[in-house]
Amino acid sequence: MTSPDTGLEADDALRVLNRVFGYQSFREGQQEIIDHVVAGHDALVLMPTGAGKSLCYQIPALVRKGVGVVVSPLIALMQDQVHALTALGVRAGFLNSTQDLDERRQVESAFLAGELDLLYLAPERLRVDSTLRLLDRGAISLFAIDEAHCVAQWGHDFRPDYLALSMLHERWPTVPRIALTATATEATHAEIASRLNLQEARHFVASFDRPNIQYRIAPKSEPRRQLLNLLRTEHPGDAGIVYCLSRASVDKTAEFLVESGVQALPYHAGLDARTRAANQSRFLREDGIVMVATIAFGMGIDKPDVRFVVHLDLPKSVEGYYQETGRAGRDGLPSTAWLAYGLQDVVQQRKMIDTSEGDDAHRRRLGSHLDAMLALCETVECRRVRLLAYFGQKSDACGNCDTCLVPPESWDGTIAAQKLLSAVVRLQRERRQKFGAGQIIDILLGKQTPKVIQHGHDSLTVFGIGTELSDTEWRGVVRQLLAQGFLGVEGDYGTLVLTEASAEVLSRSREVLMRREPERPARAAKTRRAPASADLPEEAMPVFERLRAWRAATAKEQGVPAYVIFHDATLREIATGSPSSLAELGEVSGVGENKLAKYGQQILDTLTA
* pLDDT single digits (tens) 338-364: 999 988 888 888 888 888 887 888 888
- Compute the CA torsion angle 84, 101, 121, 279 (nearest 10 deg): 60
Question: Identical fold at 12-205 and 213-341+379-407?
Answer: yes
In this structure, whether the domain defined by 532-608 belongs to CATH 1.10.150.80 is answered with: yes
The Cα 257–Cα 274 span in angstroms is: 22
Mean pLDDT score, 519-532: 45
Q: Looking at the predicted structure, is the pLDDT value of residue 528 above 50?
A: no
Best-predicted range by mean pLDDT (221-230, 280-289, 323-332): 221-230
Mean pLDDT score, 375-389: 90
Q: Looking at the predicted structure, is the pLDDT value of residue 530 above 70?
A: no
User: ∠ CA 219-225-229 to the nearest 5 degrees?
Assistant: 90
Q: Looking at the predicted structure, is the pLDDT value of residue 158 above 80?
A: no
Mean pLDDT score, 593-608: 93
Mean pLDDT score, 13-30: 91
User: Which pLDDT band, with edges at 50, 70 and 90, does 299 fall under?
Assistant: low
213-341+379-407: CATH class: alpha beta
pLDDT of residue 300: 58
Closest by Cα among 586, 587, 595 to 89: 595
pLDDT of residue 217: 95
pLDDT of residue 376: 92
Q: Looking at the predicted structure, is the pLDDT value of residue 102 above 60?
A: yes
The rounded mean pLDDT for the chain is 88
Residue-range domain boundaries for the chain: 12-205, 213-341+379-407, 410-516, 532-608
Q: Looking at the predicted structure, is the pLDDT value of residue 144 above 50?
A: yes
pLDDT of residue 535: 62
Answering whether pTM is above 0.85, one says no
The Cα 604–Cα 609 span in angstroms is: 9
Gyration radius (Cα) of the chain, Å: 27
Q: Looking at the predicted structure, is the pLDDT value of residue 537 above 90?
A: no
Q: Looking at the predicted structure, is the pLDDT value of residue 162 above 50?
A: yes
Detail the DSSP E strand segments found in 313-404: 335-341
Burial of 197 (0-12, 13-18, 19+ CB in 10 A): middle
pLDDT of residue 11: 63
Determine the CATH number of domain 410-516.
1.10.10.10
Superfamily of domain 12-205: P-loop containing nucleotide triphosphate hydrolases (3.40.50.300)
pLDDT of residue 526: 39
Buried b (16+ CB within 10 A) or exposed e, 430-447: eeeebbbbbbbbbbbbeb
Q: Looking at the predicted structure, is the pLDDT value of residue 527 above 70?
A: no
Listed in sequence order, the residues at least 6 apart from 595 whose beta carbon sits closer than 8 Å to its beta carbon are 22, 87, 88, 565, 566
- What are the Cα distances from residue 275, in Å, to 69, 81, 252, 271, 384? 30, 21, 17, 6, 37
Q: Looking at the predicted structure, is the pLDDT value of residue 50 above 80?
A: no
Q: Looking at the predicted structure, is the pLDDT value of residue 538 above 90?
A: no
Mean pLDDT score, 502-511: 90
User: Which pLDDT band, with edges at 50, 70 and 90, does 10 fall under?
Assistant: very low
Q: Looking at the predicted structure, is the pLDDT value of residue 89 above 80?
A: yes
